[in-house]
């Protein structure tokens, strides 16, 4: 099973991904973790990403897709995976789908966690992660960037017929129950 877990910062993607991982026996795949691993292991892709990030630029869509494709080819992902934080753009979604089609595969489900903006802000500010950008003003900016740049990916997956919107408000178990009912 190949799942895209989608939603704005603070929606609970990481928490739900861990529960899905346990229930379905598939691994969570975070693009941030992939970047760090390649950089740490000084792979060719890692060197390319580090150079881009060190120059203050964003990693281009094609390089992000290349990193994810390289990772999902590993045997540990044969049973499937949960994509968390990827794809962030429609171009990434299209390029990754093209890769999957070339292997005779596809995304089975895109689960979108829907949470009102005021609840997202409350969650992020109460997480206590101590990020420098965890102020009400900066969180609002991050959510606006998500709406402009990442939310269009939902439209892409709606067109492919794999998107399901889930109410992301409630207890962790209630939300997980809604997700598993969609995946059943």
Q: Where are the domains of the chain?
A: 2-183
Question: What pLDDT is attached to residue 30?
Answer: 85
Please say whether the dihedral angle defined by the alpha carbons of residues 149, 155, 157 and 160, taken in this order, is positive or negative. Answer: negative
Of residues 106, 42, 94, the one with CA closest to residue 64: 94
Q: Please tell me the predicted confidence (pLDDT) of residue 161.
A: 94
Q: Report the run of H or E that residue 25 belongs to, with start and end.
A: none
Stated pTM of the model: 0.86
For the question of residue 123 being annotated catalytic, the response is no
Fold of 2-183: Rossmann fold (3.40.50)
pLDDT bin (cut points 50, 70, 90) of residue 9 is confident
Q: Which of these is catalytic: 23, 131, 138, 182?
A: 131
Out of 79, 106, 127, 182, which one is annotated catalytic? Answer: 127
Instruction: Report the pLDDT value the prediction gives residue 177, as an integer from 0 to 100.
Output: 97
What average pLDDT does the segment 17-27 reach? 95
Residues 27, 48, 50, 88: which is the catalytic one? 88
Over the stretch 128-168, which tens digit does the pLDDT of each residue have?
A: 665 666 778 888 888 888 888 888 999 999 999 999 999 99
Our answer to whether residue 178 is catalytic in this structure is no
**Residue 131 is a catalytic residue:** yes
Respond yes or no: is residue 127 known to be catalytic.
yes
CA distance 65 to 73: 12
Element holding 75 (H helix, E strand): none
Query: In this model, does residue 126 exceed pLDDT 90?
Result: no
Give residue-wise pLDDT tens across range 37-86. Answer: 888 999 988 898 888 878 877 788 998 999 999 999 999 999 999 998 89
Q: What percent of the chain has pLDDT over 90?
A: 61
Angle between helices 44-54 and 61-72 (to 10 degrees): 150
Which DSSP symbol is given to 89?
A: S
Catalytic residue among 13, 40, 48, 182: 13
Active site residue 18: no
DSSP state of 133: T
């Amino acid at each position: 099973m190949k799942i895209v877990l989608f939603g704005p910062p603070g929606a609970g993607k990481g928490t739900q991904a861990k529960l899905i991982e346990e229930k379905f026996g598939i691994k969570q795949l975070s693009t941030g973790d992939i970047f760090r691993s390649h950089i740490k292991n000084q792979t060719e892709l890692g060197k390319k990403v580090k150079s881009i990030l060190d120059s203050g630029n964003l990693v281009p869509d094609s390089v992000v897709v290349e990193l994810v494709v390289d990772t999902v080819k590993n045997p540990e992902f044969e049973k499937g995976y949960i994509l968390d934080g990827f794809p962030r753009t429609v171009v990434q979604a299209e390029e990754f789908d093209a890769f999957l089609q070339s292997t005779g595969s596809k995304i089975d489900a895109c689960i979108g966690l829907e949470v009102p903006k005021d609840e997202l802000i409350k969650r992020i500010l109460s997480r206590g992660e101590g990020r420098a950008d965890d102020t009400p003003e900066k969180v609002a900016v991050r959510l606006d960037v998500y709406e402009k740049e990442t939310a269009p990916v939902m439209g892409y997956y709606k067109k492919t017929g794999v998107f399901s919107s889930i109410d992301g408000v409630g207890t962790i178990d209630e939300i997980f129950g809604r997700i598993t009912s969609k995946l059943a």
